[in-house]
Amino acid sequence: MKKSFGPRTLVYPVPVWAVGTYDKEGRPDVAAVAWGGVCCSIPPCVTISLRKATLTYANIMERKAFSINVPSAGLFKEVDYFGLVSGREQDKLCRAGLKAVRCRIADAPYIDEFPLVLECRLLQALEIGLHTAFIGEILDVLADEDVIGEQGFPEMNKIKPVLYSPELHDYYETGALLGKAFQSGKDILQK
Ligand SMILES: Cc1cc2nc3c(=O)[nH]c(=O)nc-3n(C[C@H](O)[C@H](O)[C@H](O)COP(=O)(O)O)c2cc1C
């Protein structure tokens, strides 16, 4: 018998990303965002959801662009800090000792120390309730050489991204490889 928890944002796994934006004056800001995920393959798109009160919300409305910076496990404290204070109060990247670099295509900064970066341009903003969902078209994916595997792609076990546990407010790192997608289920398909 399952226990009911009612309507809540209680689901696993949830990523936590650092979203980079420029303000009107071109100052870089970064915020922790857990309400995000892939939402389309062609064109490649992601959504992130933000409250209107955040500087990141205002910056995306202004610049129509943002970067998604995927943290490795060793950067979880920096990401948490990005979620504790607004860029209206502190220069977060400066305080965290991290370097903002201008994206090659999108009008947004990325964080040099983060191993995987998506450059995005705003496609649509969808008012949902407390949060507004921003759909960003992925214009480019940037990855550090040391997280690129033998198949020429950035690999999860090299990046070691941070997972977030909503409601409990815990951070986790990823575990072992289980198997291949679109293959592992064939054992059952062919039974
Ligand atoms: C783990 C974590 C996840 C968060 N996820 C979101 C989110 O998905 N959307 C949001 O609006 N705020 C989220 N926040 C809060 C923002 O990061 C926070 O309000 C931040 O101060 C906004 O910064 P800014 O004003 O510089 O944009 C999260 C915070 C933490 C610690």
Task: State which of 33, 85, 132 you would mutate to test the pocket of ligand 1, scoring each by most atoms of that ligand within 8 A of its C-beta.
Answer: 33
Within a domain: 137: yes
Q: Is 131 left (phi over 0), alpha (psi -120 to 50) or beta?
A: beta
- Cα 50 to Cα 87: distance, rounded to the nearest angstrom: 14
What pLDDT does 133 receive?
Answer: 98
Within a domain: 32: yes
Within a domain: 3: no
Is residue 182 predicted with pLDDT exceeding 90?
yes
Within a domain: 151: yes
Is residue 191 predicted with pLDDT exceeding 90?
no
Within a domain: 8: no
**Domain range for residue 55?**
14-189
Q: Is 16 in the pocket of ligand 1 (CB under 6 A)?
A: yes
Q: What is the mean pLDDT of residues 167-175?
A: 97
Within a domain: 23: yes
Within a domain: 9: no
Indicate which CATH number applies to the domain containing 151. 2.30.110.10
Question: How many domains is the chain built from?
Answer: 1
Q: What is the mean pLDDT of residues 55-67?
A: 98
